[in-house]
Amino acid sequence: MVRAAILSAVGAPLEIAGIELPEPGPGRVRVRLAAAGVCHSDLSLSNGTMRIPLPAVLGHEGAGTVVSVGEGVTRVAPGDGVVLNWAPSCGTCPACAIGEVWLCDSALAGAAGVHARTADGTDLHPGLNVGAFAEETVVAANCVLPLPAGVPLTDAALLGCAVLTGYGAVHHAARVRAGESVVVFGVGGVGLAVLQSARIAGAGPVVAVDVSPEKEALARAAGATEYVIASDTTAKDIRRLTGGRGADVAVECVGRATAIRTAWDSTRRGGRTTVVGIGGKDQRVTFNALELFHWGRTLSGCVYGNSDPSKDLPVLAEHIRAGRFDLSALVTERIGLDGIPAAFENMLAGRGGRALVVF
């Protein structure tokens, strides 16, 4: 038996309970978790904004050590450090065939399977494929990525979602160039990763926007050169800080219609807005036809940073080893499994960066 955080139904409180994991079968890997990040997507799963089969063990951002492997697994061996990959690509679907592996048709197919059982025999699904809110998990071999040398195992959990998403949003989705101005909406775990990535890209000025004055120090440490408290005048404030033109690039990490619209309004004519935040179906953004023509701006979505983890992880590892990217700076709280509900409340209230469950 291992302890895990279980979501039994949409809106239900998480239950910390023992679960039974099977030995890994062919093509499967058993991992002992070192840490798991508490992502806003986990909150979206718990409240029904995103749907998964239930009951499930939540958690999709994690790292740990391989305990055992099933038949046919050669990419990792017992004792290896690994980062969990919640959205593995199949390599054969139409999206994968053109290199858009982040849009793989079967990336979440594993979430429908059963990977564990409760003490009374109830089947449990792995939330977003990996079920990382547990002391151990069993996943498909393509859900593990070898831990790059020189990257701390515990903080490496953040690579599994926040960092790949934030880095990819800047370097793949928005394609930020040196000298471009960037505004980042939302200074949570992903927003902090976006700020660090914008700094690596050589952007400037880099403006952070959030509802909380308390996050200014976090934002500036991550690379923000300016900090704006979100208000009705945010778009005007951004233009004032960017020579009256507006930012070249806006990255929205909140997932709210008002934030998306403000991000778009904050960019210059011909500017680019990348939406990373996951909003609900009721969050509707409206534009009129004339402004779309006049401003010539681009609005685009971003899934998992439009990243290919197998290619991006080594690049990120080099930034980490060189001191250009600080994983620990994203973490504002280290907790146990019992602390996840409070971490959800902090996210709802807009407090802190990333909470990290440390086992």
**Phi, psi torsion values for 276, nearest 5 degrees:** -100, -35
Query: 73-90 pLDDT, tens per residue?
Result: 999 999 999 999 999 999
CB 187 within 8 A of CB 219: yes
CA distance 196 to 305: 14
How far is Cα of residue 169 from the mean position of the Cα atoms in its chain? 11
Task: Please identify which residue in the block is written with the tokens 């930020």.
Answer: 176
CA-to-CA separations, 166 to 196, 240, 303, 320, in angstroms, rounded: 8, 25, 10, 14
In percent, the amount of the chain with pLDDT more than 70 equals 100
User: What is the CATH code of the structural domain delimited by 164-302?
Assistant: 3.40.50.720
Q: What value does the mean pLDDT take over residues 224-248?
A: 97
pLDDT value at 162 more than 90: yes
User: What is the CATH code of the structural domain delimited by 2-160+326-358?
Assistant: 3.90.180.10
pLDDT value at 352 more than 90: no
CA-to-CA separations, 194 to 169, 244, 304, 354, in angstroms, rounded: 7, 23, 12, 13
> 3-state DSSP call for residue 151?
coil
What is the enclosing helix (H) or strand (E) of 153? none
Say which DSSP state 263 is in: H
pLDDT value at 147 more than 90: yes
Res 11: pLDDT: 86
**Phi, psi torsion values for 271, nearest 5 degrees:** -75, 175
Q: What value does the mean pLDDT take over residues 283-299?
A: 96
**Based on the number of CB atoms within 10 Å of its own CB, is 146 exposed (0-12), middle (13-18) or buried (19 or more)?**
middle
Res 50: pLDDT: 84
CA distance 251 to 185: 6
Res 280: pLDDT: 86
pLDDT value at 48 more than 90: no
pLDDT value at 43 more than 90: no
Question: What letter represents residue 164's amino acid?
Answer: L
In percent, the amount of the chain with pLDDT more than 90 equals 89
Averaged confidence pLDDT in the chain: 95
* Of 41 and 210, more confident: 210
Res 47: pLDDT: 86
Give this prediction's pTM. Answer: 0.94
Query: 80-120 pLDDT, tens per residue?
Result: 999 999 999 999 999 999 999 999 999 998 888 999 999 99
pLDDT value at 40 more than 90: no
Strands 354-358 and 331-335, sheet pairing = parallel
CA distance 78 to 121: 28
pLDDT value at 49 more than 90: no
On the question of a cis peptide bond just before residue 205, with omega within 30 degrees of 0, the verdict is yes
Domain(s) of CATH 3.90.180.10: residues in the chain: 2-160+326-358
pLDDT value at 350 more than 90: no
